[in-house]
Amino acid sequence: MFPESNPYFSVPHAFDVYLSLWPKDTPLPTESQLLAMQSTGLKLMSEVKALEAGCLLQLRQLGDEGRAIVDYLKLQSRKIDLVLQHVLEQESREGQHCPGVQFGGSGVRVQLPQALDAGTFCKLTLFIRDEILSLQCIASVRECRADPDHEGQFLADLDYRVIQDADIELLVKASLSVQQKQLKRRKASQDPNWHEPA
């Protein structure tokens, strides 16, 4: 289970969400039950990401001698991630497709065609393509309001309630990566002579 309040950083970013309402008379799943509910593709992606993180952490301890190996393995890992992402995109989707507009380690903001009551539990499958991240979790609606920029649409803030610890780490890393890319783009647009350091 996820703690009630957890002020992780959140970043605006477009991604895909598939949302299913969790049945009101059904208890929330445990983390192991949530894992069992995942598709084969999602399980593979999670396992690969966890193995990759552990191996790269050990290799970084080699210092400068291991830098070339780390860079090569990152490239290989990215190729595997892209293949798995393609496999996941071919799988049938459960739930209603909703555009995600913001994510972080505590929750997400999604755009909906209808309002949801605060406290409503939902099963979410997130696909953050730019970060090659796909995961499933249970979340609850913290707030839902009319979208000021899109008539007839609503913005819902959902907090994670059941999620794998490894997925939280991946979401935090992905949100920081997205923010870093946004800051670089902003810097480049303000200063045309600026170049990212090598």
Q: What is the pTM of this model?
A: 0.80
Give the separation between CA 73 and CA 44, rounded to whole angstroms.
Answer: 18
Q: What is the pLDDT of residues 10-40, one digit of tens each?
A: 999 999 999 999 999 999 999 999 989 988 7
Give the separation between CA 168 and CA 162, rounded to whole angstroms.
Answer: 10
Q: What is the pLDDT of residues 34-88, one digit of tens each?
A: 989 988 778 877 777 777 767 766 776 777 767 777 777 777 777 777 777 777 7
Could you give the percent of the chain with pLDDT greater than 90? Answer: 51
Residues 6+ apart with CB under 8 A from 50: 166
Backbone angles phi, psi at 8, to 5 degrees: -70, 155
pLDDT for 164 equals: 92
Would you say 141 and 116 are in contact if contact means Cβ atoms under 8 Å apart?
yes
